[in-house]
Chains A and B, each alone.
Chain A
Amino acid sequence: MKARIIVTLKSGVLDPQGKAIEHALAALGVPGVASLRQGKVFDVEIAAADKDSARASLTSACEKLLANTVIENYAIEL
């Protein structure tokens, strides 16, 4: 089963990297970029009997390692 995990900074957490990218886009003349935040994507191949058990494993992966829940949110797409 293929899954995608998206980890993003919580709103309100400063994202200096996102800001630098946002400024670079402005410098390149890309129009209309009002704001930009950087995140991470993990593509996972997971062996599981069904979607529910896959989601449970992936939730545990996020909680234990993939996201630092002090500053990051995660979303699981199956």
Chain B
Amino acid sequence: MKAAVIVFPGSNREGDMARALRQATGVKPAMLWHDDHELPAGVDLVVLPGGFSHGDYLRCGAIAGRAAIMDAVRAHAARGGLVLGVCNGFQILCESGLLPGVLMRNANLRFVCRTQHLRVERNDAAFTSHYAKGQIIEVAIAHGEGNYEDDDEGIARLEGEGLVAFRYCDALGRLGGDANPNGSRNDIAGIYSARRNVLGLMPHPENLIDPLVGGIDGRALFESLAAA
């Protein structure tokens, strides 16, 4: 598994991401800059980390979604290559057209920063093979714009084609109410592209890979990728 992490002006989670990838794969990922034009040869996985690219100006991820490197990322995804976007990376994937829909301001207008339970919707994707289907995991969230919205048709397509990757839930796996931190439609925390080779999610699995920080539920995502 050869991974590359793309750094945009204002990214701030690339270090955590690189550590998680290195822990799972044994190899340091390549770090690329947003105005690079090409991915290193043989890259299997491209990762867009969290942060506040371009200061969240205009819309979160809007300017980064049009960065020079994104043409190469789109071509990589079109070839079936793996792409992971976390938090701001998810926003960038939506703005770049690699994933449908949009991440709006949290419904309660608050920036949420805490741990959060998620339900793993399927474990037959490259990102989740080391989880059990329906497993409840606890990872971190830290965002002000994570409220996933699309029109009714778009949501029906995601649900119908099994493209919801993770849903917000409580510790017992119950959906809705206070378990949904941002008002996302259908408690959506993460989604796949139609071919399930692109995953965007608001929560931060890369922050829960070491018992020192309170849990390792994020590790299986990177171990799944390492085995893909």
Contacts and interface: CB of A to CB of B under 8 A. Distances in A.
Interface of A: 13-14, 16-17, 20, 64-66, 68, 70-71
B105 interface: yes
Interface of B: 58-59, 62-63, 66, 95, 100-102, 104-109, 147, 149-151, 183
B102 A68 contact: yes
B149 A17 contact: no
Contacts of A16: 104-109, 183
Contacts, number: 35
B214 to A, nearest CB: 30
A32 to B, nearest CB: 24
Contact of B107 (A14, A64, A65): A14
Looking at chain A's contact residues, the main secondary structure is helix
Contacts of A64: 66
The 7 closest A-B pairs by CB, nearest first: A70-B102, A16-B105, A71-B102, A16-B109, A16-B107, A20-B109, A68-B102
Given A13-B149, A70-B102, A71-B104, A65 B62 contact: yes
A14 B58 contact: no
B109 A70 contact: no
Contacts of A66: 58
Contacts of B58: 65-66
Contacts of A71: 102, 104, 149
B152 to A, nearest CB: 10
A20 B108 CA distance: 10
A14 B104 contact: yes
Contact of A68 (B62, B105, B106, B108): B62
A54 B64 CA distance: 26
